[in-house]
Amino acid sequence: MILKLMLFPASCMVYTKEMNRSLFLFFSILFLISGCSNDEKISADSISGDQYRAGVHYEIVDNPTSVRDPSRIEVTEVFWFGCNHCYALEPYIARWKKDMPTDVAFIKSPATWNEMLKTHATIYYTAKALGIEQQFVPAAFNTIQNEGRMLTGNTELEYYFRGFDVNKDKYKAVSTSFGVRNAVDQADKKMKQWKVTGVPSLIVNGKYKVSASRAVRTDQLFEVVDFLIEKERN
């Protein structure tokens, strides 16, 4: 317990590309033991909409990306199933989406820094292509975060998709399809263009990047996102 407190004074971890797999798995085990609370005391100032500033509460993307539908403002979450902070963000996303305006679109985009993350990106897009994204996402988070199964082996994944009524042949065909491979490649290109170095990160209209930090708590992320959406409207 003393080791936990020394290593993780903030009690929650944001996964970054600099963390190698073995180090991250070691940290993850400690987090599964200690738990992750959104009630932690993060040193963020009390902020209101007119106080959100570039370079403090959000970053301006150097090389903005285009959006799929110019008539809507896109909010993209770069995430990873193995990131406990991404898992903790899911309820906030669900609540925010309930009141999401019709001129806003929300998109998930998996991180792809290494082969394990690319595997998880592949199964995400496979689930999306199969039309089971809504059931698959919470299940995958639960399996990795709470059961400690990393979902990386081919045999394991074939069996896992059977739980969603997807047989082995269908899983293989879709997971290796051009559409899924291209989706992973596009996610990788955008992540690099946005210079995402940690997850979760929220990208507003391909122009702004918002991440949890000492200046922005998890429960304030979508306040900043809403501020940037309004900024785009104006």
For residue 171, the domain's CATH number is 3.40.30.10
> What residue numbers bound the domain in which 79 lies?
2-233
In angstroms, how far is CA 142 from the centroid of its own chain? 14
How confident is the model at residue 51, as a pLDDT? 85
Q: What share of the chain is helix, strand, coil (3-state, %, to 5)?
A: 50, 15, 40
Phi, psi of 186 (to 5 degrees): -65, -40
Q: So what's the pLDDT on residue 17?
A: 64
Q: In this structure, are residues 136 and 161 in contact, taking their beta carbons and an 8 Å threshold?
A: no
Q: In the 8-state DSSP scheme, what is residue 64? A: P
| Residue 109 in tokens | 């985009």
Q: What is the pLDDT of residue 15?
A: 62
- Using 50, 70 and 90 to split pLDDT, how confident is the model at 37? very low
Q: Which two tokens stand for residue 137?
A: 């996402």
Provide long-range contacts, Cβ within 8 A and 24+ apart, for 146-150: 146/32, 148/29, 148/32, 150/82, 150/116
Residues 167-222 pLDDT 10s: 999 999 999 999 999 999 999 999 999 999 999 999 999 999 999 999 999 999 99
pLDDT of residue 23: 52
Total domain count for the chain?
Answer: 1
pLDDT in tens, 90-100: 999 999 999 99
pLDDT for residue 136 is more than 70: yes
Distances (CA, A) of 101 to 48, 96, 180, 233: 21, 10, 29, 12
The candidate with the shortest Cα–Cα distance to 21, out of 161, 123, 119, 122, is: 119
Question: Span 112-138, mean pLDDT?
Answer: 98
